[in-house]
Structure 1
Amino acid sequence: MRALKEREKMLAHILAKGGCQEHKTVPVQFMSLERAVWLLQVSERARQGRLRAHFMKTIRQEEQRRLQGNSSMQDPNQAATCIQKVWRGYRDRRRVNKECLEEMIFLGMIPAQQMTPSPAQLHAQQVESRRHCVQEEHEAEYQKALVNIKESVRSVDGPDIKESLQEQIRQWFLECRDATGKFPDFPSPEDGGSASIFAQKTPEQVAAEFAAKEEEREKKKKSKGEKDKKGNDRKEKKKEKKGKMKGKKGKGDTEEEEKGWKMTPSNFLPTVVEGAKLYKEVWHNRDEKQNFLQHFDAQLVREEKRLEVEEELRVQVDELMRQELKNLKLVVDRDKGKKKKKVKKSSKKKKKKGRKTGKKKKKKEKDLTADRTIESLYEELVMEGFIIRPKNIKLTDYIGEYSYLGTTLRQADIEPMPSLSDVRQLIALYGVLPLGSQCVHERGPLIRALLLTGPAGVGKKMLVHALCTETGANLFDLSPATLAGKYPGKSGLQYLLHMVFKVARQLQPSVIWIGDAEKTFYKKVPKLEKEMEPKRLKKSLPKVLKSIKPEDRVLVVGTTRRPFDADIKPFCKVYKKIILIPRPDYASRFTLWKELLQAGGAQLGPKLDLSSLAKVTDGYTQGHILQAIQTVLNSHRLNQQTKRPLTAVEFIPPLARQDPVYKEEEEAFKAWYSRTPLGKKRARAAKASEEEEDHKKGKTKGGKSQKKEKKGKTKKRKKKK
């Protein structure tokens, strides 16, 4: 958290220093002179008409008052009955409306309008805040105790630990000499030092392990010369095996079909098993009844810190005992020791030569910015507009519901489109988890690039900003519009990409966003965009993506609303993971209207039919709905809600001015996705499942027909008799 806050401060400081503070751009609509004059005339005539109507209304009211003043007084009984009638009607109507509203709220058809939180909610909030305070106090106490307990263990138990380690190592020296006739070689720091000696092994086992390692090294040297001979023999054996396997292919295929798909072993299983084992050993049988406030256990901390101190002291003891062993060898085997040293030196030289000839070192990439600091590179990228500040949007702000009709559509042989809830879940799996956790990124499947595609207004950019907010990632912008006119030439582009990916790795996690990703892989560049050179990244982007390793928490995210304009083969080679974002279904539209209206300050009353709005807006995206709400809910309309509640009809005119997502556009997205590798894989899986179902149905029909044939034969025999 500290690193993220410091990074935000640095970005804000650079933006303020360069005068690049972000301002909200208000769109300006241009108007002709004739239309402006016409608008002024209309507004002025309307104002005069309102004044004239108000003047006539006051005259009419004065005449009515004059007539009422001359009329005779009414009977008091008639006046009382009139007042009673009006009051009782009003009272009963209010009671009926209240009962109807309570019934609708009880059935869940109208949301309960609870302006102030209940006492139970207030109490829960107080308990939660108190719990957070207690957790912070306990955490501070625990961190302080870690340092104090470690220092006490080092000062009190340190000398005893050091002496016991030295005695154990000396005892091992003597036991190895008695068993093998010579002093052993002390393990190197790479092999674990003296820790490998005390891994519950006898001196004979330890000596045998060292001897086996030396034999393996010698075998590797000898095997290098024999590889060519063995390679030829293997090729001949493979040819013989292929001939034998041709006849067995039929059986093999049936066996594979019977076995079916098998899940690959999980990389996270060992850690889960280790955690379960630790729980059983430490926490399963531990009695925590007396520890109601959940303070730390000092004994457990002492055991952990003792191991840490032991490891720290072991390094010091290893150096001392390594020198002591060297002196012992010189004293006992002085003459042999000199010969062995010469042999070792010659063998080391041979090893070095073998390494030079056998292994080819990989070429290291040239650091084009070796003389510059990360801060200066970061500042340059910010000033050039390649690093932007992500908006504070959470993933939960992307509103969407589950596809409740998915199973029903599949039963009718209709493949349903993914819901917005599925999209949100995929963003969490492909983006938030790998970028947010180093462990998940290293052990999970490596995802270098992700493509978000769909019609305009479905929330592609919003998901990119939500991904950065949830993971605290830097947001780099490599869109064709941002690249236009900057760092010209091949060398300039290479320098820019080197700078971007260097900063992204150093300040990870990082998200590299490429807006209008289809422009990088255009089939044919339009004439108006030739000056922008949108295809600059086409050749260099795949090469740079290959350099992203499992330890680099860097993700390239592309967004496009016209993927069918790109050449599909290179496009899908870069973006192997594709998320097709559809237009919202009925459930998502209903929740969208409800959440966005409440966020805009609207009061949801019985006159505002959200279900009708959700049905009417079929085909419209989230952006269209948001724009319609912002148009209607201005400050003047919000102030009038108490007198004139909102109705669904008010949102129809702003929606009618916008173009929805037509069926042809949706079919174009589906057709494009079916031609991608992911779409083809999905189609193959669906086809295989259909064939399996048909095969099962065929078996059942065959069994029924055989039974019918048998019944027919028995009937014929009876007739003959």
Structure 2
Amino acid sequence: MSIPVKRTIFSADFLKADESCENLLKKDDAADIALDDEEDLDAIRNCAACKIQSWWRGYRTRKIVKIRKRFKEELYGMKKIRKLKRPNYKDNSIMEMYKNEMLKKKLDEDFINLINDERTRLLQVRSPWMMEDISDHIRAWFKEFYDATGNFHPYPDPVKQGTVLVVIDETMTPMEFQESLGKKPLSKAEKKKLRDKEKKEKRKKKEKLKQLKMKEAKRRKKLRDAGIIDIGYEITASKPIENIEETMQKYAKDWRNVDEYLNKNHDPIKDWVTEDELAKIHQEVRGLVDEYMRVEYELLREALAKDNNEKYKALKVKYPKKKKNKKKKKAKDMTGDRTLESLYHELKDAGIIEDIAHRDFDEFIADFNFVADDTRDEDGLTTLGPAKGDIKMVIQESMLGMGEFDVPKPKSLLLIGPLNSGKRLLCQIIASELNAVFMNLSPEKTYKYANDLKYFLHVILKVAKAFQPTIMYIEEAHRLFWKKIPPEAVEINPRLLGTSISSKILKPLKKNDKIVLVGTSNMPWAANGGIKRAFQKVLLIPKCDYGTSFLLWLEMMTENAPDDMKEYAYSALARVLQAYNSGDITDNVKQTLSIDRKMRLKNEALDPNEFLEYFLSKNEPPILPPEEKLMEKFNKWFGSSNTLQKLRKKYMAQKLAKASKKK
């Protein structure tokens, strides 16, 4: 027996040939067996042990198969990996972040110390040799020209990088210099003709380039009017993409032969520091040597003039012009006598700066539109738009410029969609992922600054620029541009910031500022045209599709229900409740699977009708999915503010017009 089983030796009085004794033997056979026979007792014990072993082996095998199946499903993405959130996970993340910051400070200090030490060492050891090498090279250049021509080549001016021209062979050869000596100097009229000729050639080149660009622009305009976008040109003509490609090539070249696996302490690469500092020191030393060798050059020219009985005339030296630092008139700082900390705490005490819970993009559960435009109608007018997962990806890409990379980003972003569709959650996720300051500029927070709006805007911008990255959030941003203010909203003065967003908040922001204004709206059509000018980018949060709904049910049930419900009918729930917003589904699962209901799950199975009851009977009025008319309203308003959609409509109108003419 591979699995040892303890067999208890029972006395003969305990074993009875009775129906209640399950000893794997038939009743008729048990009557014939003498209970005092040792062989028969051993047979009974062995049968019992085998029975226990067979049940144990079956249970163990089923458990192993179940674990392997679950692992494969998670690996293939068929099942979601359950996240176990520990009570102190946030504290641990804060401690981890603090340790990383301390480590980064230490590594930065070590790197700066290494640079200073290496620079000092190179100045002491290598700079004298560098000066000798440079001066020897320049003297050899003097001798080469004197031996070949009996004269000295004009010494390069500091404006033209000095003797660097000698190193890169940008000076005349001895033969060219000899020819130039025999030529007469050009008159003023001849010099003017040469300048005019050069100018004409430059103009011709510019005109040719301009014509080529005009042709390319016309070609792309024709394609755009036809509804075709030349993606290849857009990518090749994009400066950020060029910078990214250059960075990638440089990274591949620099790190090709570097193995960081053994560098556990993250020490800097000393060879790179040495190369950089040598280049800097060489540049500095060459400037000094140039000045010394210029004196030697003039002495040689003076001696040569005496030998030839000629008049010596020192050459004029052209130095680069020093840039004058134009002092810009600084605007008067209204809070110049106050510290940034006091201004920050003032906004925080007033409720403008809010503390938000830690969120990440995994909490915004959404699926991509894998069908894309394959469901296009015959007329070509109706297409299946992006899903929530596509919008989530666009937001992530839009926020790349808020990090270390200098990537273009919108200064303002507007998220529109029905109530409870995840707009505020996305704003909180953006701020949390960037570890940004979250400023709430909604009318409920700002109406009390109506009497001193100029001071308020000044403080907001000053704090936002000092504590970057910063997210400025406006809830229901259409209220700032209301066509008609409802009577109940007059008290909060919703239009207070409407006229100031473009001129006072967005205009002072520079491209490199890590500040974004993010707004949400569930009624954008209630606002005037100012909302489109205030927000550079508008994104429509679509209604849930089947994929997003299924992922929501799977995620929420996995988080809130026990493991016994892993085979629950998520697909049926997702199909029936597909039209509901993601926030409604999340609230439904959390309210239905309360602590009391979880305790009763073992005795009372969960009925899918309980989720329907939450929507229809437990709430007054009942919660219903957004109507088709409402979504059409969103699509119509979004189409009027989306440039690509406008182009597509124009193209489709032209296509229909051509088709009608043919008929």
Q: TM-score, normalised by structure 2?
A: 0.65
| Other-structure match for 2:456 | 496
SS in 2 for 1:381: helix
Is 1:386 aligned with 2:356? no
Relative distance call for 1:364 and 1:112 in structure 2 (3 A) is: closer
Q: For 1:596-618, what per-residue CA distance to the aligned partner results, in whole angstroms no more than 9, with x for missing partners?
A: 12222444537842223222323
RMSD over aligned CA atoms reads 5.5
Q: For 1:475-528, what per-residue CA distance to the aligned partner results, in whole angstroms no more than 9, with x for missing partners?
A: 111111110112x33xx2222222222222222221111111101111112222
Letter in 2 for 1:164: M
C-alpha separation in 2, matches of 1:338 and 1:371? 57
Relative distance call for 1:137 and 1:513 in structure 2 (3 A) is: closer
C-alpha separation in 1, matches of 2:127 and 2:252? 28
Displacement of 1:371 in angstroms is 3.0
SS in 2 for 1:523: coil
Q: Confirm or deny: 8 A CA contact 2:225 2:651 kept in the other structure.
A: no
Residue from 660, 664, 668 that aligns with 2:625: 660
Is 1:371 aligned with 2:371? no
| Other-structure match for 1:427 | 395
Matches within 5 A, 1:468-547: 468-486=431-449, 488-489=450-451, 492-543=452-503, 544-547=505-508
Is 1:439 aligned with 2:399? no
Q: Confirm or deny: 8 A CA contact 2:156 2:165 kept in the other structure.
A: no
| Other-structure match for 2:640 | 675
Residue from 548, 553, 557 that aligns with 1:588: 548
| Other-structure match for 1:707 | none
SS in 2 for 1:263: helix
Relative distance call for 1:368 and 1:682 in structure 2 (3 A) is: same
Residue from 414, 421, 427 that aligns with 1:451: 414
Residue from 257, 267, 282 that aligns with 2:239: 267
- Say how many residue pairs are matched: 533
| Other-structure match for 2:129 | 163
Residue from 157, 170, 181 that aligns with 1:185: 157
Q: TM-score, normalised by structure 1?
A: 0.61
Relative distance call for 1:450 and 1:201 in structure 2 (3 A) is: farther
Matches within 5 A, 1:621-632: 621-632=581-592
Letter in 1 for 2:519: G
C-alpha separation in 1, matches of 2:347 and 2:558? 39
Relative distance call for 1:499 and 1:318 in structure 2 (3 A) is: farther
C-alpha separation in 1, matches of 2:491 and 2:108? 62
Residue from 418, 438, 447 that aligns with 2:386: 418
Displacement of 1:151 in angstroms is 3.3
| Other-structure match for 1:200 | 168
Q: Confirm or deny: 8 A CA contact 2:155 2:294 kept in the other structure.
A: no
Displacement of 1:172 in angstroms is 4.1
SS in 2 for 1:485: helix
Q: Confirm or deny: 8 A CA contact 2:401 2:514 kept in the other structure.
A: yes
Relative distance call for 1:278 and 1:380 in structure 2 (3 A) is: same
Letter in 1 for 2:632: E
Matches within 5 A, 1:8-87: none
Relative distance call for 1:559 and 1:475 in structure 2 (3 A) is: same
Displacement of 1:659 in angstroms is 3.4
Relative distance call for 1:482 and 1:604 in structure 2 (3 A) is: farther
Q: Confirm or deny: 8 A CA contact 1:607 1:645 kept in the other structure.
A: no
> Which consecutive unaligned segments of at least 5 residues does structure 2 have?
1-17, 27-54, 85-98, 178-187, 200-206, 303-310
Q: Confirm or deny: 8 A CA contact 2:469 2:514 kept in the other structure.
A: yes
Displacement of 1:166 in angstroms is 5.8
Q: Confirm or deny: 8 A CA contact 1:513 1:557 kept in the other structure.
A: yes
Displacement of 1:111 in angstroms is 7.4
Q: Confirm or deny: 8 A CA contact 2:156 2:162 kept in the other structure.
A: no
C-alpha separation in 2, matches of 1:448 and 1:318? 45
Matches within 5 A, 1:84-483: 151=117, 154-155=120-121, 158-165=124-131, 167-168=133-134, 171-172=137-138, 175=141, 183-187=155-159, 197=165, 200-204=168-172, 261=230, 263-264=233-234, 265-275=237-247, 277-278=249-250, 293=262, 301-314=269-282, 317=285, 320-321=288-289, 324=292, 365-411=331-377, 413=380, 414-431=382-399, 433-440=400-407, 444=408, 446-483=409-446
| Other-structure match for 1:564 | 525
Matches within 5 A, 1:678-697: 678=643, 681-685=644-648, 687-688=650-651
Q: For 1:313-371, what per-residue CA distance to the aligned partner results, in whole angstroms no more than 9, with x for missing partners?
A: 34653664476468669978999999969xx99x989x99xx99xxxx98654433333
Is 1:553 aligned with 2:520? no
C-alpha separation in 1, matches of 2:343 and 2:288? 46
Displacement of 1:471 in angstroms is 1.6
> Which consecutive unaligned segments of at least 5 residues does structure 1 have?
1-75, 85-90, 118-132, 209-214, 227-236, 703-721
Displacement of 1:642 in angstroms is 2.0
Letter in 2 for 1:418: P
C-alpha separation in 2, matches of 1:470 and 1:590? 25
Q: Confirm or deny: 8 A CA contact 1:368 1:495 kept in the other structure.
A: yes
Relative distance call for 1:547 and 1:390 in structure 2 (3 A) is: same
C-alpha separation in 2, matches of 1:195 and 1:551? 38
C-alpha separation in 2, matches of 1:258 and 1:685? 6
Relative distance call for 1:112 and 1:558 in structure 2 (3 A) is: closer
Displacement of 1:672 in angstroms is 1.5
Relative distance call for 1:202 and 1:579 in structure 2 (3 A) is: same
C-alpha separation in 2, matches of 1:167 and 1:538? 67
Relative distance call for 1:180 and 1:460 in structure 2 (3 A) is: farther
Relative distance call for 1:333 and 1:556 in structure 2 (3 A) is: farther
- The structure whose residues are more often helix, as a share, is 1
Q: For 1:261-295, what per-residue CA distance to the aligned partner results, in whole angstroms no more than 9, with x for missing partners?
A: 362312244445545654675666x597xx97478
Relative distance call for 1:482 and 1:184 in structure 2 (3 A) is: same
Relative distance call for 1:651 and 1:271 in structure 2 (3 A) is: same
Q: Confirm or deny: 8 A CA contact 1:612 1:648 kept in the other structure.
A: no
Displacement of 1:202 in angstroms is 3.5
Relative distance call for 1:573 and 1:172 in structure 2 (3 A) is: farther
| Other-structure match for 1:637 | 597
Is 1:576 aligned with 2:550? no
C-alpha separation in 2, matches of 1:336 and 1:369? 64
C-alpha separation in 1, matches of 2:279 and 2:551? 57
SS in 2 for 1:530: helix
**Which deviates more, 521-530 or 331-340?**
331-340
| Other-structure match for 1:620 | 580
